[in-house]
A and B are shown apart, each in its own frame.
Chain A
Amino acid sequence: MVSALDRKALRDLLRLWAQVLAIGSVLACGVMVLVLGSGTRASLEASRAAYYERQRFAEIFAEATRVPETLLPEIAAIPGVARLSPGIRTTAVIDLPGVSEPVSADVRSLPASGRDPVLNAPLLRAGRLPDPLHPDEVALYAPFAEARGLMPGDRLSAVIEGQRRSLTVTGHVLSPEYIYTIGPGSMMPDDTRFGVLWIGQDAAAAATDMSGAFNSLALQLARDAVAPAVVSALDRLLAPYGGTGAHDRTDQISHAFLQSELEQLGAMALILPPIFLTVSAFLVNMVLSRLIALERAQIGLLKAVGYTTGAIATHYLKLAAGIALIGTVVGWGAGWYLGAAMTRMYADFFRLPWLIYAPSAWPFVLSAVLALLTTLSGAGRAVWASVRLPPAVAMSPPAPPVYRRGLIDGLGTWAQLQQTTMMILRAITRWPGRAAVTVFGVAASVSVLIASFFTYDAMDLMVDEIFTRANRQNVTLILASARNESALDDARALPGVIRAEGAFVLPVRLRNANREELTSLTAHPEHSELSRLIDDKGRQVQLPDYGLVLPEGLAGKLGLSPGDMVTVEALAPPRETWAVPLAATIRQTLGQDAHIAAPALFRLMRQTPQVNQINLQVDATQMDALNAAVKSTPAIAGIADWTRTRSQFTATIEENLSISTVIYSALGMLITLGVVYNAARIRLSERAHELASLRVLGFGRGEVAWVLVGELMLLTLIGLPVGWLGGYGFAALVVQGFSTDVVALPLVVNRQTFAYACLIVLATALAAALVVRRRLDRIDIVQALKARD
């Protein structure tokens, strides 16, 4: 049997449906973001874990020039190594009929036994794996095969280690090593330009002259293994064979990208919900305060007939809990739905073979508890203030509000303000707390919008920095091996080349005391015009004659500041270790590679200048001819087309941003809607009598509405600059939360972004206020005047 009080609570919820819905939606946003962020993250993590587990994704990875298989027992004997899987890895340029641009590929070997590799087993999606006895058979990375329409049975031609080979496709595979694939020298996955080929061990060995040897190794660790110890031991064993430094999963490109995406999702679930929950707490407080004010007499009556203070307080808290329930259920639903959609989107971007949408229970429980606490804390003060009144006091009408003279009066006289405007100003100063809630809500909206829109500004700056200021080449050639500078002359002879500059990239391990990081060191030639280093002011950084320049993030990880000495260990010939001072740090948007002036590096190496990358400025109309020439040049292992990368980069970012922008705009508008609508309704109910009196005195509907709408719009205007500050701070949080090893988002908010956020919030606030104005227009003057009598 539902008690009479409970029935009242239920009817109150129904009667106040519009306000309940407005608060509930704001609350639902917080709940949704929490469920969405952590749910998507949990699902991706679960999918990835299952994939890693099933395909035995390795824990330690190492590469070397050529390691004899006789070393394997020694490696297996390293304490902590559970399983190991040697293989051969090289690169290829694929020649597809009718495709002018060169397509590069990773080549991976499959065990001669014909069985799956011990670790990093590819997952067959179509056809079959190559027969070890048929060296001309190849399995293709499925997204590449699909992008190029290569079906089992089709043939393709590839240049591997300088030899052209004709291969037959046997099947499509996916691999845990290639959840996120990126070609050499490029920045974005491009399934049409980069693929992976799996061929038999013997075929790979023959192509690379690796009989009885391997150049790539994957390890799985025993449960009690100490990974850094294994890495050091492995490095010692592989050093004589050209080891380039073993590393764990954190330096495995595909894993690192996916991991950084997961961290961003976690950040989203952490930053946003508190904003929505706080706003809804204030809203609940506002609405319940008003509701209770209107019900003073009823509260007095309930007390008079013998209800305890506790019972009455519980009644109103149940009302608050009802709002929490609505917000939670809506938020759960939206979070679940969007989480599944977002997980699907990620699955598309990251090549996972299957998707387990498995949000864990805790975000649901946590969000429900938070929603409940939010509304209860919002209601608590209002409830407490009313229920403690003695019944006789509660039953008599409240004393009229007392206004005092203050600064406003001086302002009013000085500016000769209209009396209706004075009413607005006095109402604001009389209830500053309530005005503050509206201002805070509006500011929160503006902040959310700015924090969402500024990502465009940051991306624009990034694109400008990366593609216009830092990299002015439109093509980068990746050479198969280091060459002397005469290679530049060869490059200049290629069709369409206007300018050619060399670069030398060396894999290194940087060390400071006990901290170390794997990275690559780029040697920049003097007077470089194409590839340049840019600081955070957009100016070109002049590399010092001697010493390293590191990105701030990397220097921070190593605990280095300018002037400190860094140990640089070259992981490719000449495989020496040097002590070099850190000359400067820069804010680097993309990547974590280190920089040095070319003459300085070659002095350290005691070698004549070399190049292993060539940056080109090319006549755009000659690209086809250049591509054709590159395809027939075995010395070129890969080609990066910056123009294409730029358009892909922008397209991908815009696609991802447009979705989140739509979501956050909606969230930001919901806050304004919830705050302003509730404030307007409350104001209307409190001042119906006053506003009706104005109508009696001969004020038109518009003039009377001004008292209501004007107050809210004034508060909205005050909220805007507060929101700018909040938005900037919020943007800084986003930059911190979303920057990873791969991308360091710059903190930049354009004026337009501030303006857009303001316009959206102003328009939303006006719409909310005007909806309430329609109620005002419908007020029956006689009834409103009677209400007080």
Chain B
Amino acid sequence: MSIPVLRTEDITRIYRTGAVEVQALRGVTMELSEGEMVVLLGASGSGKSTLLNILGALDLPTSGRVFFRDLELTRASDRELTRFRREHVGFVFQFYNLMPALTARENVALVTEISEDPMRPEEALERVGLGHRLDHFPAELSGGEQQRVAIARAIAKRPELLLCDEPTGALDSATGVSVLEALCEVNRDLGTATALITHNAGIQAIAHRVIHIADGQIAREEINATRVDPKEITW
């Protein structure tokens, strides 16, 4: 039986803007285990980004509890949450969120400088196939390359948890495949628990497990008996 890294207990999230109340999550209970790759699939507005933000401690639920191993994130201080993100989580976003003022190598070094046992930035970049673009600024890289820098930055600290929010959303199919390949390799080689959210149903085949989110709830879960190599999917 695999060991859960992250679990949530009946979390809800309500946004209030003025008089309007939006219930983004309505009681989500889930787990993410070591070495597992989970795809969270849902339409736009289904609440999957909110869930990912809460998993990564970028946001707190309105009710319910979130645990990272024995640490209850929902009770942790701001300082503990910062440490959690710094030591255990890697993020990959749709729009990369690289520092435009830093080169690819420096963007990765940004994270390795504050981590305890990181890879060398060059090693992380080689792993995503960018060993030859070390000294380029983001503005000098293509979208796929930028996203791969973001992945290198996310994995360089050897995180236990990799959270990816629509990592291929801004990319064409061929480039997207290369990004997914990089993510699968990291998951396989480093055993990083990976949660990937997408509205693109074609991607679900690469996961161990698929969680369908609709209307702020888990609609259903599927376990893929056989995983498909990213190379074999298109959209």
**Chain A interface residues (CB < 8 Å from chain B):** 399-405, 418-420, 422-423, 426-427, 430, 689-690, 693-701, 703, 781-782, 785, 788-789
In angstroms, how far is the closest chain B Cβ from the Cβ of A533? 63
Q: Which residues of B contact A405 (CB under 8 A)?
A: 103, 135, 137
Mind listing 26 A-B residue pairs with CB under 8 Å?
A400-B100, A400-B138, A401-B101, A403-B137, A405-B103, A405-B135, A418-B113, A419-B99, A419-B102, A419-B106, A419-B107, A422-B106, A423-B102, A427-B101, A689-B97, A694-B99, A695-B85, A697-B91, A697-B153, A698-B85, A700-B86, A701-B82, A703-B114, A782-B58, A785-B93, A789-B95
Tell whether A423 pairs with B101 under 8 Å between CB atoms, given A400-B138, A698-B86: yes
Question: Taking chain A's interface residues, is the majority helix, strand, or loop, or is none over half, making it mixed?
Answer: helix
Would B101 and A781 count as touching, CB distance under 8 A?
Answer: no
Q: Which residue of B lies closest to A689 (CB)?
A: B97
Q: Which residue of A lies closest to B56 (CB)?
A: A696
Q: Which residues of A contact B113 (CB under 8 A)?
A: 418-419
Q: Is B132 an interface residue (CB 8 A)?
A: no
Would B86 and A401 count as touching, CB distance under 8 A?
Answer: no
Q: Is B87 an interface residue (CB 8 A)?
A: yes
Q: Which residues of B contact A694 (CB under 8 A)?
A: 99, 110
Q: Which residue of B lies closest to A426 (CB)?
A: B101
Q: Is B125 an interface residue (CB 8 A)?
A: no
Would A785 and B97 count as touching, CB distance under 8 A?
Answer: yes
The answer for the CA separation of A133 and B56 in the assembled complex, in Å, is 106
Contact with A along B31-65 (1 / 0, CB 8 A): 00000000000000000000001001011000000
Would B137 and A402 count as touching, CB distance under 8 A?
Answer: yes
Would B53 and A697 count as touching, CB distance under 8 A?
Answer: no
Would A401 and B139 count as touching, CB distance under 8 A?
Answer: yes
Tell whether A697 pairs with B100 under 8 Å between CB atoms, given A782-B59, A789-B94: no
In angstroms, how far is the closest chain B Cβ from the Cβ of A703? 8
Q: Which residue of A lies closest to B140 (CB)?
A: A402
Tell whether A400 pairs with B139 under 8 Å between CB atoms, given A419-B113, A782-B53: yes
List the 7 closest pairs (A to B, CB-CB), nearest first: A698-B86, A426-B101, A419-B110, A698-B85, A693-B97, A423-B101, A402-B139
Which residue, A689, A693, A696, A697, has most C-beta atoms of chain B within 10 A?
A697
User: Contacting B82 at CB < 8 Å: which of A427, A699, A782, A789?
Assistant: A699
Would B114 and A698 count as touching, CB distance under 8 A?
Answer: yes
Q: Which residues of B contact A420 (CB under 8 A)?
A: 110
Would A423 and B99 count as touching, CB distance under 8 A?
Answer: yes
Interface extent on B, as a size class?
A: 35 or more
In angstroms, how far is the closest chain A Cβ from the Cβ of B69? 17
Which residue, B93, B114, B138, has most C-beta atoms of chain A within 10 A?
B114
Would A788 and B95 count as touching, CB distance under 8 A?
Answer: yes
Tell whether A403 pairs with B139 under 8 Å between CB atoms, given A418-B113, A422-B101: yes
The answer for the CA separation of A690 and B85 in the assembled complex, in Å, is 16
Would A697 and B137 count as touching, CB distance under 8 A?
Answer: no
The answer for the CA separation of A697 and B114 in the assembled complex, in Å, is 10
Would A696 and B91 count as touching, CB distance under 8 A?
Answer: yes
Q: Is B6 an interface residue (CB 8 A)?
A: no
Q: Which residues of A contact B211 (CB under 8 A)?
A: none
In angstroms, how far is the closest chain A Cβ from the Cβ of B107? 8
Q: Which residues of B contact A422 (CB under 8 A)?
A: 101-102, 106
Q: Is B186 an interface residue (CB 8 A)?
A: no
The answer for the CA separation of A703 and B114 in the assembled complex, in Å, is 10
Q: Which residue of A lies closest to B78 (CB)?
A: A701
Contact with A along B67-90 (1 / 0, CB 8 A): 000000000001100111111010
In angstroms, how far is the closest chain A Cβ from the Cβ of B87? 7
Q: Which residue of A lies closest to B96 (CB)?
A: A693
Q: Is B111 an interface residue (CB 8 A)?
A: yes
The answer for the CA separation of A695 and B101 in the assembled complex, in Å, is 17
Q: Which residue of A lies closest to B101 (CB)?
A: A426
In angstroms, how far is the closest chain B Cβ from the Cβ of A459? 49
Q: Which residue of A lies closest to B136 (CB)?
A: A405
User: Contacting A401 at CB < 8 Å: which of B100, B106, B109, B110?
Assistant: B100
Q: Which residues of A contact B85 (CB under 8 A)?
A: 695-698
Q: Which residues of A contact B100 (CB under 8 A)?
A: 400-401, 403, 690
Which B residues between 125 and 143 are near A, CB-CB below 8 angstroms?
A: 135, 137-139
User: Contacting B111 at CB < 8 Å: which of A403, A404, A423, A698?
Assistant: A698
Q: Which residue of A lies closest to B159 (CB)?
A: A698
Q: Which residues of A contact B82 (CB under 8 A)?
A: 695, 698-701
In angstroms, how far is the closest chain A Cβ from the Cβ of B158? 13
Would B95 and A699 count as touching, CB distance under 8 A?
Answer: no
Tell whether A698 pairs with B89 under 8 Å between CB atoms, given A419-B109, A789-B94: yes
The answer for the CA separation of A379 and B95 in the assembled complex, in Å, is 33
User: Contacting A403 at CB < 8 Å: which of B78, B86, B101, B153?
Assistant: B101
Would A690 and B99 count as touching, CB distance under 8 A?
Answer: yes
Would A426 and B59 count as touching, CB distance under 8 A?
Answer: no
The answer for the CA separation of A303 and B138 in the assembled complex, in Å, is 32
Would A700 and B106 count as touching, CB distance under 8 A?
Answer: no
Q: Which residues of B contact A423 (CB under 8 A)?
A: 99, 101-102
Q: Which residue of B lies closest to A692 (CB)?
A: B97
Would A781 and B91 count as touching, CB distance under 8 A?
Answer: no
In angstroms, how far is the closest chain A Cβ from the Cβ of B45? 13
Q: Which residues of B contact A689 (CB under 8 A)?
A: 97
In angstroms, how far is the closest chain B Cβ from the Cβ of A40? 50
User: Contacting B58 at CB < 8 Å: which of A696, A700, A789?
Assistant: A696
Q: Which residues of B contact A698 (CB under 8 A)?
A: 82-87, 89, 111, 114
The answer for the CA separation of A403 and B99 in the assembled complex, in Å, is 11
The answer for the CA separation of A696 and B165 in the assembled complex, in Å, is 13
In angstroms, how far is the closest chain A Cβ from the Cβ of B49? 9
The answer for the CA separation of A782 and B137 in the assembled complex, in Å, is 25
Contact with A along B150-163 (1 / 0, CB 8 A): 00010000000000
Query: Given A401-B100, A695-B82, 19 more contacts at CB 8 Å?
Result: A403-B101, A404-B137, A405-B137, A419-B109, A420-B110, A422-B106, A426-B101, A690-B100, A696-B97, A698-B82, A698-B84, A698-B85, A698-B87, A698-B89, A698-B111, A698-B114, A700-B86, A782-B53, A789-B94
In angstroms, how far is the closest chain B Cβ from the Cβ of A707? 9
Q: Which residue of B lies closest to A430 (CB)?
A: B101
In angstroms, how far is the closest chain A Cβ from the Cβ of B79? 7
Q: Which residues of A contact B135 (CB under 8 A)?
A: 405
In angstroms, how far is the closest chain A Cβ from the Cβ of B80? 11
Would B99 and A693 count as touching, CB distance under 8 A?
Answer: yes
Q: Which residues of A contact B87 (CB under 8 A)?
A: 698
In angstroms, how far is the closest chain A Cβ from the Cβ of B7? 21
In angstroms, how far is the closest chain A Cβ from the Cβ of B166? 9
The answer for the CA separation of A420 and B107 in the assembled complex, in Å, is 10
In angstroms, how far is the closest chain A Cβ from the Cβ of B135? 7
Q: Which residues of A contact B114 (CB under 8 A)?
A: 698-699, 703
The answer for the CA separation of A782 and B139 in the assembled complex, in Å, is 24
Q: Which residues of A contact B99 (CB under 8 A)?
A: 419, 423, 690, 693-694
In angstroms, how far is the closest chain A Cβ from the Cβ of B188? 24
In angstroms, how far is the closest chain B Cβ from the Cβ of A260? 56
In angstroms, how far is the closest chain B Cβ from the Cβ of A786? 9
In angstroms, how far is the closest chain B Cβ from the Cβ of A789? 6
Q: Which residues of A contact B86 (CB under 8 A)?
A: 697-700
Q: Which residues of B contact A699 (CB under 8 A)?
A: 82, 86, 114
Q: Which residues of A contact B109 (CB under 8 A)?
A: 419
Q: Which residues of B contact A690 (CB under 8 A)?
A: 99-100
Q: Which residue of A lies closest to B150 (CB)?
A: A693
The answer for the CA separation of A422 and B91 in the assembled complex, in Å, is 22
The answer for the CA separation of A562 and B87 in the assembled complex, in Å, is 80
Q: Which residues of A contact B79 (CB under 8 A)?
A: 700
The answer for the CA separation of A698 and B153 in the assembled complex, in Å, is 12
The answer for the CA separation of A699 and B78 in the assembled complex, in Å, is 11
Q: Which residues of B contact A696 (CB under 8 A)?
A: 56, 58, 85, 91, 97
In angstroms, how far is the closest chain B Cβ from the Cβ of A416? 10
Would A697 and B101 count as touching, CB distance under 8 A?
Answer: no
The answer for the CA separation of A647 and B113 in the assembled complex, in Å, is 62
Q: Which residue of B lies closest to A402 (CB)?
A: B139
Q: Which residues of A contact B91 (CB under 8 A)?
A: 696-697
The answer for the CA separation of A420 and B86 in the assembled complex, in Å, is 15
In angstroms, how far is the closest chain B Cβ from the Cβ of A544? 69
